[in-house]
């Protein structure tokens, strides 16, 4: 992929991984449309590079999402969709402060929104000479941890969705890559875990991947070890992940 000739749409770009990706891609010469919910952060992002345009879009509001897609496609073409936005609540299901709205928000942002956004953009992506969809996922898609059961379930669903779309789109000009991330130093993971990589490191690995022929899965950082560990020593991963940890109420990437 010649990035300087491509146009990207990135969700969850108000901070963290999405913001780092938007800036890194723009610096490579790509045009970037960055969506998020924090208007002030998006204004600062747009001011940081001429190749970045931003828009406030609440992915839990499907009518707003559809309007944003229609408005965008009326004025530009998109070559690559990066479904990055995510919400995680580091709480157990029986926690009294974890309610139905929290569950709805996690499922809406982490699963329904990327599914619907991909569906809405697919007819357009098929018209492009080379189109890609990137699903930002997690090692927790393969094995859940003690906390954040709903978040883990949504990432497992994204893993399955990615595989299903790869089958549906086989032979077409649209490719789907699931990007499986390790623990990344964002607001979502504040105060939890160690050995995190930075959003910038994630952006660098994804950009390197975009320059190669598409693959079904990109394992980022330490997650490259996951397939081996899950095959030969799954108990090691389970021991690490299934010990409850204390953590704050976490928000989007």
- Let me know how long the chain is: 253
Residue pLDDT tens, the chain, 253 long: 689 989 999 999 999 999 999 999 999 999 999 999 999 999 999 999 999 999 999 999 999 999 999 999 999 999 999 999 999 988 888 898 999 999 999 999 999 999 999 999 999 999 999 999 999 999 999 888 878 899 999 999 999 999 999 999 999 999 999 999 998 987 776 656 667 899 999 999 999 999 999 999 999 998 988 888 878 887 777 776 665 544 444 445 5
Q: For residue 76, what are the CA distances in angstroms to 37, 79, 120, 222?
A: 22, 10, 15, 37
| Residue 151 annotated to the active site | yes
Which architecture does CATH list for 3-241?
Answer: 3-Layer(aba) Sandwich (3.40)
Q: Which of 33, 98, 151, 219 is catalytic?
A: 151
The percent of the chain in helix, strand and coil, each rounded to the nearest 5, is 50, 15, 35
User: For 53, phi and psi rounded to 5 degrees?
Assistant: -115, 140
Cα–Cα distance for residue pair 108/88, rounded to 1 Å: 12
HSE on the CB side for 164, CA within 13 Å?
Answer: 9
Sole residue written with tokens 């828009």 = 55
């Amino acid at each position: 992929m010649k990035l300087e000739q491509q146009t990207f749409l990135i969700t969850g770009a108000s901070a963290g991984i999405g913001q780092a990706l938007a800036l890194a891609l723009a610096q490579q010469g790509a045009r970037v449309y960055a969506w998020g919910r924090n208007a002030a952060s998006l204004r600062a992002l747009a001011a940081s590079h001429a190749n970045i345009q931003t828009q406030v879009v609440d992915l839990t509001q499907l009518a707003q999402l559809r309007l944003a897609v229609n408005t965008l496609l009326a004025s530009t073409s998109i070559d690559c969709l990066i479904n990055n936005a995510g919400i995680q609540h580091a709480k157990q299901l029986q926690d009294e402060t974890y309610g139905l709205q929290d569950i709805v928000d996690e499922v809406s942002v982490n699963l329904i929104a990327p599914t619907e956004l991909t569906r809405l953009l697919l007819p357009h992506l098929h018209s492009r000479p080379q189109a890609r969809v990137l699903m930002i996922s997690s090692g927790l898609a393969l094995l859940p941890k003690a906390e954040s059961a709903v978040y883990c379930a949504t990432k497992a669903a994204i893993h399955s969705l990615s595989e299903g779309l790869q089958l549906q789109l086989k032979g077409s000009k649209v490719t789907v890559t699931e990007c499986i991330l390790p623990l990344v130093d964002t607001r979502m993971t504040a105060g939890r875990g160690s050995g995190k990589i930075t959003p910038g490191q994630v952006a660098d690995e994804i950009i390197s991947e975009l320059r190669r022929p598409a693959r079904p899965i990109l394992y980022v950082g330490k997650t490259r070890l996951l397939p081996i560990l899950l095959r030969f020593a799954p108990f090691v991963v389970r021991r690490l992940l299934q010990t409850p940890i204390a953590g704050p109420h976490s928000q989007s990437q």
